[in-house]
Structure 1
Amino acid sequence: MTERTDHYILDDQVGFLLRLAYQRHMALFTEKMTGGLTPPQFSTLYRLREASEPISQNALGRLVGMDAATTKGVVERLLLRELIHVEKDREDRRRYTLFITDAGRRLLDSVLPEMHKISQTTLAPLTPGEQEQFLKLLKRLT
């Protein structure tokens, strides 16, 4: 019988720990979020609201870190709820651009305070300095 020398400890692995932290955050999101938005839908609405110019579905997907198929599904669900609308691009008639509607803006504005609380609760076990450092480190990983 050979002795194990890899010293792999699951509880010290970045992927395992990130998944646990994500599960905790998602439980908070599910418990606290009103308005019927999923995290990808929230991110999509937020990116559309902050866009200074028309944005294509592909570009939007890149901005929120989603693949094309996921972006398509999120966009379809937001269109059905009339939170966004789509128009043919004025310059490239083969391309479509997405916009947030007034209803989408109102919904986003109503849930932003909840999102702040969810983020604060997720980070609550850390000191303010640790929270800042943690977010900086996460940004470096992405």
Structure 2
Amino acid sequence: MREGAEMANQSLRQRLGARRPYVLDEQVGFILRQVYQRHAALFMSVVGEDLTTTQWAALSRLHQNGPCSQNLLGRHTAMDASTIKGVIDRLQARGLVERLADPEDGRRLLVQLTEAGREVVSRTLPLAQLVTEQTLAPLNLEERQTLLDCLAKLI
């Protein structure tokens, strides 16, 4: 089975390679990285609050879903275990989240927003929406929806 897949991949590479040369500026990963860099720069300049986009994702998800385990929060924010741990550690050090024992399972810790965290989210939500608008500003409404639909298919 693996041999068949390798042959299919090799055949695909040969067909793609025969079409045109590899041009970095035309590669999806390169383009996505540039778009993300633009978005992250907009986020930092508009939102402020000394928040990274990953920290914002954690705060936003906790606001949206309520308290949850660190592991589940990582899954809900597309972060691996070590990344979400670092994010939560930094947010906790700033007093924006707290860890507490799960009343249903004493072995598990829940992460939840503190009052300060809720205040930051309330102040920041409209700014985060503005960042999305600014990121998508070069596109008309139909193009925006098409882009979002296409990106969702790639996840």
- For normalisation by structure 2, the TM-score amounts to 0.84
Give 5+ residue unaligned stretches, structure 2.
Answer: 1-16
Match for residue 70 of structure 1 among 63, 66, 83: 83
Q: 1:138 is aligned with what amino acid?
A: L
**Counting helix residues as a fraction of each chain, which structure ranks higher?**
2
Q: 1:19 is aligned with what amino acid?
A: R
Highest RCO, 1 vs 2 (Cα 8 Å, sep ≥ 6): 1
Classify the secondary structure of the residue corresponding to 2:51: coil
Q: 2:50 is aligned with what amino acid?
A: G
Corresponding pairs, count: 138
Match for residue 25 of structure 2 among 1, 4, 11: 11
Alignment of 1:20-31 (within 5 A): 20-31=34-45
Return the offset for 1:135: 0.8
Query: Is it true that 1:130 corresponds to 2:151 in the alignment?
Result: no
Return the offset for 1:23: 1.2
Q: 2:85 is aligned with what amino acid?
A: K
Query: Is it true that 1:33 corresponds to 2:25 in the alignment?
Result: no
RMSD: 1.4
Give 5+ residue unaligned stretches, structure 1.
Answer: none
Q: 2:101 is aligned with what amino acid?
A: K
Percent pairwise identity: 43
- For normalisation by structure 1, the TM-score amounts to 0.91
Return the offset for 1:7: 2.0
Q: Displaced runs of 4+ in structure 1, greater than 3 A?
A: none
